[in-house]
Structure 1
Amino acid sequence: SDGDSRWSKLGTTLPVRNVQALAAVAAGELTGDAIERYIQPDIDADAVIPAHSDEVPVIDLGRLTDAESVEAETAKLRFACEEWGFFQLVNHGVPDEIILAIRRDIEKFFQLPLDVKNAYAQRQGDLQGYGQAFILSHDQKLDWADMFGLYTQPPQARDMSFWPSQPPMFRNSIEEYSSKLMKLARSVATFIAKTLDIDPELVADKIVVQYVRMNYYPPCTLMPEKVLGFSPHSDGSFLTILLEIISVQGLQIRRHGAWIPVKPLANALLVNVGDLLEIMTNGKYKSIEHRVTINAHKERLSISAFHVPKYDGIVSPLLGTTEEKVLYKTTKVEEYSRLYLSKKLDGKRAQDHAKLSQT
């Protein structure tokens, strides 16, 4: 079934120290040793170009549903997926009160005492819960962040033992936000199908399961320019939708070999192409590497929703013409997800396995 409990058993991660607690140590007492595992030696390997941050495409969902503007907006959406792999979505239709509620409750959750949050700690071999992801060895570099992950959709995919009873309205907020987002993801996928001139049914079944990850990035007073909240990676999803809870600049996307900071618009959701959509479009639409940098003084909070096909689904490249060269293998969703989750984050390495070698 789509509420497949096998999903949460795809990954395993080692327990690591809580970063929020580490960040709370007074700057004078925070030693280089304590944050040694977080120092990223090649963080400055590529330039950061803030001047391009205003160019991230903005797509208006209202214009996609309006007969007058649908053609022009569809062309913009195609451009966004081909050239950027990221876009800001405005007029997305998720009600303000649902967004306010999830914002309020995520903030409250991360403010709870550590022992309360640890009641929802990740369990060995489970992707859900409070902790960190992609920690596979005792000596790898760590990200300056704590996270909390849940399978939210479809309802039968949920393991309620991970759903916090505090703050009191949290479960309700997650339920409402996740179901609205699931509908939105399906609707965006339908418009993406239009940009490709394919039957929307071919993408409808690519958005069956939703996993949400709440990300808490504490400030780092000691060496903020040497740590990352999230190492460079592309998403192993079909489509990801991100909401900034406390918006502090930090997200950067890789473009033409440099990093572009993304400044989220106040009422926008940020949508990005995942690896599985890149495979399905035979590389036309790009799943872009991104990372999160850390602020010296301010915390950042966000929630990402990853939408994937069913556990035993497959994704095959759709070709526009018979002349077009097939660049990706037909990929089993379970196999790809297992591979993606079994490695530490490292750019687009997982996706390279899905590429056919061109002779």
Structure 2
Amino acid sequence: MSLNVDEDLVTEMEEAPTLAPSIPLENVQEMVRNDPLHVPIGYVTSQEELEKANYMPHLSSEIPVIDLALLSNGNKEELLKFDVACKEWGFFQIVNHGVQTELMQKMKDAASEFFNLPIEEKNKYAMVSSETHGYGKGCVVSGEQTLDWSDSLILITYPTQYRKLQFWPKTPEGFMEIIEAYASEVRRVGEELLSSITPEQVQGLSPHSDTSSITLLMQDDDVTGLEIRHQGGWVPVNPIPDALVVNVGDVTEIWSNGKYKSVEHRAMTNKNKERISYGLFLCPQHDVEVEPLDHMIDSHNPKLFQKVRYGDYLRQSLKRKLEGKTHLNEAKLKESDLRNQDD
């Protein structure tokens, strides 16, 4: 299961932009409670797909760990580690980020309590067909796709006028206030990360890559489920207590003209224990046109991506099945356009 806090860093507008709807589906927890041995066919991954997976747990210890305090103070060694992490991994974990351990634990406890509420209580905040807010399952675009064995709570937290409070749970008591405090702190961390990027690097703001600038994720300390694509295989991201996982999003890959990588990742189920993750996505304004920054393009590094309006890119991505990096490929220049740059 996952709780996604979708943070959209945008200027003030009257109301939130309309995103792609998702097909309503039965609650996964309820299916397990009703018949723990039955998995509907739509959730089953073929044996062929499973056998293709190249599992590489021996590389987990090599996933970079960045000290945010050192990075923010301009430590050269930490900046170099950060650069390598974004170029070679697209993922890293951060420590010394300043988010209080007590607040992180409150978020975990409240989310766990919410997901364990009776279905009747959770359905008070259920997604409707025209919304991506609320409790349910996002990114379901077709009855033909292989479905994720998870339930989600998806909320837009910033700017505050985009919030649709009818989808913010009032139970357990204080959950809304905990979400507010946690989102505010992780937003600060995300902005600090982005501001720590040097001028030579990017400036400004089922396996899939994220459409955000960067994503910050809190994992459960005792359940490994997140895996990232690296060197053709899947590497588990072992939780570090009180650390946050950061991954480069599609927007940063476009801004950096492919220097920094938005990497495929997936969440695997655990047969012994439920897993909750807490993802917060930092995104540009919906009307911002995203393209490679000028200083990332030269005679040796031709422009790889076309200009896209972020809101349109996000909506198109949400309308299609999460499958690898197919949505990012839509933003790439065609071979004929690349040849014209050489002429």
What is the DSSP-based 3-state SS (H/G/I as helix, E as strand, rest coil) of the residue aligned with 1:153?
Answer: coil
State the match for 1:128 in structure 2: 133
What is the DSSP-based 3-state SS (H/G/I as helix, E as strand, rest coil) of the residue aligned with 2:157?
Answer: strand
Which of 322, 338, 359 lines up with 2:298 in the alignment?
322
Q: Identity over aligned residues, as a percent?
A: 38
Is residue 2:27 matched to residue 1:18?
yes
Q: How does 1:324-339 map to 2 (within 5 A)?
A: 324-339=301-316
Which of 112, 133, 137 lines up with 2:142 in the alignment?
137
Amino acid at match of 1:240: T
Q: Is the 8 A contact 2:220 2:239 kept in 1?
A: no
Structure with more strand by fraction: 1
Deviations 1:152-177 (A, max 9, x none): 11222211111111111101001001
Distance 1:143 1:185, change over 3 A: same
The alpha-carbon deviation at position 138 of structure 1 amounts to 2.1
The alpha-carbon deviation at position 4 of structure 1 amounts to 4.5
The alpha-carbon deviation at position 197 of structure 1 amounts to 4.7
Which of 91, 99, 108 lines up with 1:103 in the alignment?
108
State the match for 1:355 in structure 2: 332
Q: Is the 8 A contact 2:16 2:163 kept in 1?
A: no
Q: Could you state the TM-score of these two structures normalised by the residue count of structure 1?
A: 0.86
Is residue 2:117 matched to residue 1:112?
yes
Q: How does 1:237-256 map to 2 (within 5 A)?
A: 237-245=212-220, 247-256=222-231
State the match for 1:196 in structure 2: 200
Is residue 2:239 matched to residue 1:264?
yes
Q: Is the 8 A contact 1:246 1:299 kept in 2?
A: no
Which of 276, 298, 321 lines up with 1:344 in the alignment?
321
Distance 1:170 1:5, change over 3 A: farther
Q: Is the 8 A contact 1:38 1:143 kept in 2?
A: yes
Q: Is the 8 A contact 2:133 2:155 kept in 1?
A: yes
Which of 297, 301, 308 lines up with 2:272 in the alignment?
297
What is the DSSP-based 3-state SS (H/G/I as helix, E as strand, rest coil) of the residue aligned with 2:246?
Answer: strand
Question: Cα RMSD over matched residues?
Answer: 1.7
Higher RCO (CA 8 Å, separation ≥ 6 residues) = 2
Which of 183, 186, 196 lines up with 2:188 in the alignment?
183
Q: Could you state the TM-score of these two structures normalised by the residue count of structure 2?
A: 0.90
State the match for 1:227 in structure 2: none
Amino acid at match of 2:151: D
Amino acid at match of 1:355: K
Distance 1:138 1:3, change over 3 A: farther
State the match for 2:170 in structure 1: 165
CA distance in 2, matches of 1:6, 1:141: 33
Q: Is the 8 A contact 1:4 1:311 kept in 2?
A: no
Is residue 2:50 matched to residue 1:43?
yes
Amino acid at match of 1:337: L
Deviations 1:125-150 (A, max 9, x none): 11111000111122321110000100
Amino acid at match of 1:55: E
State the match for 1:215 in structure 2: none
Which of 62, 65, 68 lines up with 1:58 in the alignment?
65
The alpha-carbon deviation at position 121 of structure 1 amounts to 0.3
Deviations 1:92-126 (A, max 9, x none): 11112221211111111111110100000001211
State the match for 2:4 in structure 1: none
CA distance in 2, matches of 1:321, 1:348: 22
Deviations 1:270-329 (A, max 9, x none): 000000110000000000000111111111011100110011112120133531200011
What is the DSSP-based 3-state SS (H/G/I as helix, E as strand, rest coil) of the residue aligned with 1:44?
Answer: helix
CA distance in 1, matches of 2:55, 2:201: 36
CA distance in 2, matches of 1:5, 1:196: 36
**Which consecutive segments of 4 or more residues in structure 1 shift more than 4 A?**
3-8
CA distance in 2, matches of 1:8, 1:43: 38
What is the DSSP-based 3-state SS (H/G/I as helix, E as strand, rest coil) of the residue aligned with 2:313?
Answer: helix
Q: Is the 8 A contact 1:56 1:87 kept in 2?
A: yes
